[in-house]
Structure 1
Amino acid sequence: MHIVFFGDQHLESLGGAQVSMRLQRRFLERAGHTVTAVAPRMHASRGSSDAGYLDLPSIPITLDREYSMSWPGRRTDRYLDRALASRPPVDLVHVQADFWGAFIGHRFAHRHGIPVVHTMHNRVDVGMAAVTPLHRQVLAVLNLWRRRAMRGIGRPVSGSDGWAFLRGIAQVANAVTAPSGHFARRLEQHDVFGDVDVIWNGIDDDLLASVLAAREERGDRRPRFVWLGRMSPEKRLLPFLEAVVESQVDADIEVIGGGGQLRAAEKIARRHDGIRFAGRLPYAETLARIAAADAVVQTSIGFETQGMTPFEAATLGTPTIVSDPDIAAELRGGLWAVSDGSVAALAATLKQAASDLSAGSAPTPDPEVAAAFRQSSRTAAMIEIYERVLRAG
């Protein structure tokens, strides 16, 4: 098969969806398929070129030029059609985008009569509410843009909230997948799609084996907790650090990642002697830090469509302190669940986890979750969906 991915951001840019798409591509190609990844051209340097990337004309949208956008319209359509004409015939479109990438991908599939699998990575309503107080107005504008960009594709979909937006871009797909059971249920409950397939984002089998082989024994030291992610409000880094200070937990805390809240985080961290900021790290090094930790701390609530970090931790044998009850249910064990979203509850759970670790009574991740999170199994499951869609014509 020749599968064309469509993303909102270039696969070499930072982000969980981009990491997942790079991994999917590698394992699909390992299985004998061809993958072309269509996304806006990056304006920051990304190193060597890759023939599997088809970069669309774009404009940068962030000051660091890491992220960009391509305008969905006839000019982009013509550019894309010309570029793909020199590649093998496309069998299937896999949209893994929520905004301009989704519009461009569905427009391409509609023009050429190609079936579409659409993976939902983003809970748009929660994401917008986390980054702007004007989220209702922004969602109304996004729905207007969606109706204009996808005019003539499928039936008109009214509404101005996040679910209407997702409903509008998913309704012409032949299959919709979600990276977790809890997100799939919400998509079905809000009539985004009738029957959503659950395909977790996975972890590289080879990298997993390498990290596990290099893992060292804990030894005689105080517990080591690691928090990782984007330093933005929806990830709740600052409440986590406040909980560390309130608990005065006897543990070493490592924070991996970057973002706009770094300065505020560093200010809070001065009130506890065990907090260290590692900055942004390569993916392999991040996994090694998770494997070396005694517990991973997950703090966002209601925002994640999957929450990769706790699953990566489970696969590496590291338990997680989990704030989101949906993620806790999907992990099926190997965790300390935080009772509510307060700093006090998180502080109490940190102390309990440190106590359990010191006593040698920490919970153990579910081995079935670890096995099911390997990318080889995720790719096999996705190929089954591709073949089902193609058989249906």
Structure 2
Amino acid sequence: MHILMFSDQHADSLGGVQVSLRLQKRFLEQAGHTVTVCAPRMHRDHAGDPGYVDTPSVPITLDREYSMTLVGRRADRFLDAALATRAPVDVVHVQADYWGAMLGYRYAARHGIRTVHTFHNHMEFGLEQVVPFPRLVIRALLWWQHRVLKPTRSTLAPSAWAFLNELAVRADASTAPSGHFAALLERKGVASDVDVIWTGADDAVVEQVLAAGTPRVGSRPLFVWMGRMSSEKRILEYLEAIRLADVDAEFRLYGAGLLLAKAQAFVRTNGLDDRVVFAGKVPYRDALTAIASADALVQTSIGFETQGMTVFEAAALGTPSIVSDPNIAGELPDGTYWQPADGSVPALAEAISRVAADLVSGAELVVEPQTSQEFRQSYQTARMIGVYERVLAG
């Protein structure tokens, strides 16, 4: 099969969805399929891939990490020309909500190709976190969506869920990367019979990291945090919890984002330089090695995540997690995580203090590397291929 994936952001940019796209692409190719990923051109240096189609774009963040493509006939013509020299597309897999989704469904409609949609984004919660007038933004998005996707098919009342439903009704199958998000989509009327397909950990890298071993450096408890440094990830709340916990431990933060400078300033102002280390962005294998070497992974966002990629990877590697989001905790095996008493900063600080004390006393939570195939990308890719085959069978 030739699978054409659409994303709102380039696969080489920072983010969990982008990690998922790269893993899906590689494992589908290992299974003998062809994958092309269509996304807006990046405006900074990046690795690139022959399997990428980069559409004309404009940067939308000051760090030039993210960009957008203007949806219209010009973009349609560009895409048709770029794909005309490649193998015929069998399935369009939309893994986007905005310009990527519009381009994808317009392409599928022009060429009569069946579609699969993966919902990655809790749009309602995300907009509430990052824009000052979310209801006004949703109305603007609905107006724009109705202009570029015609005719309107959703019968839901105007809302973020209606925006997502407008995409779902155009798909031949819908998937979600977690059970809790699939249930939410169904409950809100976005889609029915949503297939749950996780993003798994890279089989080979997990095996390599486990085989190599991860000797600890230093005697203090080591906590690792990974992600985009933005408000919905609660990075500043995490740093405040570290300050309140006031434990002798090392807290390594991997990633970057718009709040990086503010986070660094917080650390300096509050004298946390001896405990908090900003490790920057690292390749996937280095990220898994960092998780494997930690005493605990810390997950801090609540209500935003639609998948628990890092905590799944931690479970696969035998590293326990402090999990703030009860929905994510509910998908993990028992005995692989701690959970704060509630979603407050003091509760997170108390959990950090309790875990650090356990680690120092030798009463730490021991997690064996999870051998369940569900945590491996090969297993999840085989399930996604099954969805493609079902869709193509009509």
Bin the TM-score by the shorter chain.
over 0.9
Residue 103 of structure 2: aligned partner: 104
Question: For 2:20 and 2:57, how far apart are their aligned partners in 1?
Answer: 22
The answer to whether 1:23 aligns with 2:23 is yes
Q: Following TM superposition, by how much is the alpha carbon of 1:282 offset from its aligned partner in structure 2, in angstroms?
A: 2.1
The structural deviation recorded for 1:304 is: 0.4
Aligned partners of 2:223 and 2:250 also within 8 Å: yes
What's 1:222 paired with? 220
Which whole-Å CA distance do the structure 2 matches of 1:246 and 1:145 have between them? 45
Q: Taking structure 1 as reference, are residues 352 and 134 closer, same or farther at Cα in structure 2, changes over 3 Å only?
A: same
CA apart distance, 1:230: 1.4
8 A Cα contact 2:8 2:99, kept in partner: yes
- Aligned AA for 1:291? A
Indicate conservation of the 8 Å contact 2:324/2:339, yes or no. Answer: yes
Q: Larger deviation: 209-218 or 323-332?
A: 209-218
Kindly provide the amino acid, as one letter, of the partner of residue 312 in structure 1.
E
Using the TM superposition, give the Cα deviation of residue 364 of structure 1 relative to its aligned residue in structure 2, in angstroms.
4.2
1:37 match: secondary structure = strand
Q: Normalization by structure 2: what TM-score? A: 0.94
Distance (Å, rounded) in 1 between the aligned partners of 2:107 and 2:69: 14
Find the aligned partners of 1:174 and 1:336 in 2 and give their Cα distance. 39
Of 358, 377, 383, 1:381 maps to: 383
Determine whether 1:116 maps to 2:125: no
Q: Mapping of 1:86-165 within 5 angstroms?
A: 86-152=85-151, 155-165=153-163
Contact 1:331 1:369 in 2 (8 A): no
1:317-356, aligned counterparts within 5 Å?
317-333=318-334, 334-356=336-358
1:309 maps to which residue?
A: 310
Give the superposition deviation at 1:82.
2.1
Identify the range of structure 1 (309-318 vs 353-362) with the bigger mean alpha-carbon deviation: 353-362
Shift of 1:374: 1.0
The AA in structure 1 aligned to 2:194 is: V
CA distance in 2, matches of 1:382, 1:108: 21
The secondary structure found in structure 2 opposite 1:38 is strand
Residue equivalent to 1:208: 206
Q: Specify the alignment match of 2:266 in structure 1.
A: 268
Distance of 1:285 and 1:87 partners within structure 2: 34
Structure 1 residues 157 and 69: CA distance shift in structure 2, 3 A: farther
Residue 185 (structure 2) aligns with: 187
Structure 2: how far apart are the matches of 1:74 and 1:268? 46
Q: Which amino acid in 2 is paired with 1:293?
A: A
Which consecutive residues of structure 2, in runs of 5 or more, have no partner in the other structure? none
Q: What is the alpha-carbon distance in structure 2 between the residues aligned to residue 197 and residue 132 of structure 1?
A: 30
2:230 alignment counterpart: 232
* Cα deviation 1:17-46 (Å, max 9, x = unaligned): 111111111111111111111111222222
* % identical aligned pairs: 55
**For the residues of structure 1 that align with 2:271 and 2:326, how far apart are their CA atoms?**
29
- Compute the displacement of 1:316 (Å): 1.1
Cα pair 1:335 1:364 within 8 Å, conserved: no
How far off its partner does 1:309 sit?
Answer: 1.4
2:176 to 172, 175, 178: 178
C-alpha separation between the residues in 1 aligned to 2:161 and 2:255?
30
- Cross-structure match for 2:75: 76
- Could you tell me how far apart the structure 2 residues matched to 1:325 and 1:60 are? 35
User: 1:344-364 CA deviation, whole Å, 9 max, x = no partner?
Assistant: 111111111112223333334
Decide whether the 8 Å contact of 1:235 with 1:300 is kept in 2: yes
1:245 maps onto 2:246 in alignment: no
Structure 1 contact 313–319 (Cα < 8 Å) conserved: yes
2:285 aligns to what? 284
Q: Tell me, which stretches of 5 or more residues in structure 1 are unaligned?
A: none
- Deviation for aligned residue 1:365: 4.4
Q: Matched residue pairs, number?
A: 390
Give the Å deviation of 1:369. Answer: 7.3
1:330 match: secondary structure? coil
Q: 1:109 to 1:288 in 2, by over 3 A?
A: same
The whole-number CA distance in structure 1 between the counterparts of 2:34 and 2:69 is 24
**8 Å Cα contact 1:37/1:53 also seen in 2:** yes
Give, as a single letter, the amino acid of the residue that structure 1 aligns with 2:142.
N
**Distance in 2 (alpha carbons) for counterparts of 1:10 and 1:247:** 38
Range 266-275 or range 173-182, more displaced:
266-275
Q: CA RMSD in A?
A: 1.8
Return the alpha-carbon distance in structure 1 between the equivalents of residues 88 and 118 of structure 2: 22
Q: How far, CA to CA, are the matches of 1:133 and 1:127 in structure 2?
A: 11
CA distance 1:267–1:61, shift in 2 (3 Å): closer
Counterpart of 1:45? 45
Q: Matched residue of 1:331: which SS?
A: coil
Q: Which amino acid aligns with 2:70?
A: W
Deviations 1:251-284 (A, max 9, x none): 2111112222223323432433322211222222
- Check conservation: 2:58, 2:68, Cα contact below 8 A: yes
